[in-house]
Every structure is written in C-alpha cells, then in structure tokens.
Amino acid sequence: MGHTYRQIAEQLGFKSHASVINAVKRYLATQPPEDVAVMRAYTAGSYRIVTARLHRLLAKAETDGDRPAAATLARAIADIEDKHAKLTGQYVPEAKPDVEVTVNVTGLTPAAVVGEAETNLLAIAKARRANMPAIAPPTPAVIDAEVVEA
C-alpha cells in the first residue's frame, strides 16, 4: 500500500508505469459494479470510526490546552459529520403529501368573483381607516432671518 505506479512497474517487471496503469484499468473493467447500498454502509461505518478517533484527539487537545489543534479537529469532525449526513440521506427534503384541491363555482363568472373580492377588500380598508387616528398635516417651520445689505 502506498506505492507509486513506477515502483509497482519496477517490482513486477512492467516496461513503464503507463503499462501498470493500463493493466489496472483493464482489470477494473472486468469487475462487476459495486453494490451501492453495501458501499454506503461501509463508508458510513468508516465515517463513524474516524469521527470517534477525532473526538478522542479533540479531547486530548482540549486537555492539553492546544487551541489551534482543537479548532482544526472540531472543523474536521464537522466536515465528516456533514459528509455522513449527506451519505445517509439526511439532507433529502421530507416528502410532502400530495394535496388535491378541487373548486367548483356555479353561477359565478370570473368577473363576478373579482368584483366581489374588490368590494370586500375596499370594505376592509375603509374599516381600518375608520379606526386609525387622524393625522394632522405638518405645521410649516418658522424661519427667522435678518436681511443684511452689504
């Protein structure tokens, strides 16, 4: 684990690192696709393990008073928890139930409905104006001046 393609080529007797890359691509093309549910479960478990380790390191950094390390670890924990939430579908909006509305209006035309709405709104506005205190017009400001001739 952790070897370059060049090192692998030398170790296994390939002519170049490009030959190793091509061999890997050919091998991967023959493999069946991975089961998504299994990979999600594996990744979610990995996230939990890493998060637990980071929490232990965060506790040690806080105990040691190492604030920069604690801040860095807290950001790393938040990042992993965010990825875990996305992976497990916690960011998917909740499904809203389908609502069907049926309106049957008989005997009214659209113009009559709009006219009635206008009448009702004007009545509401008139009632609100009646309950509002009267506003006196502003009094003009007095300007005191003296004319000086030069």
Look-up of token digits 């691509």: 25
CA neighbours closer than 13 Å in the CB half-sphere of residue 83: 14
Six-digit token string for 32: 């069946």
State how far the alpha carbon of 149 is from the alpha carbons of 53, 129, 143, 144, in Å. Answer: 89, 52, 19, 17
Q: Domain spans of the chain? A: 1-31, 35-92
Closest CA to 23 of 37, 39, 33, 12: 12
What pLDDT is attached to residue 22? Answer: 92
What is the per-residue pLDDT across 65-91, written as a single tens digit (0 to 9) for each?
Answer: 999 999 999 999 999 999 999 888 888
How many Cβ atoms sit within 10 Å of the Cβ of residue 17? Answer: 15
What pLDDT is attached to residue 16? Answer: 92
Write down the pTM of the prediction: 0.43
What is the per-residue pLDDT across 94-150, written as a single tens digit (0 to 9) for each?
Answer: 777 888 877 776 777 888 888 888 999 999 888 888 887 766 667 777 777 787 887
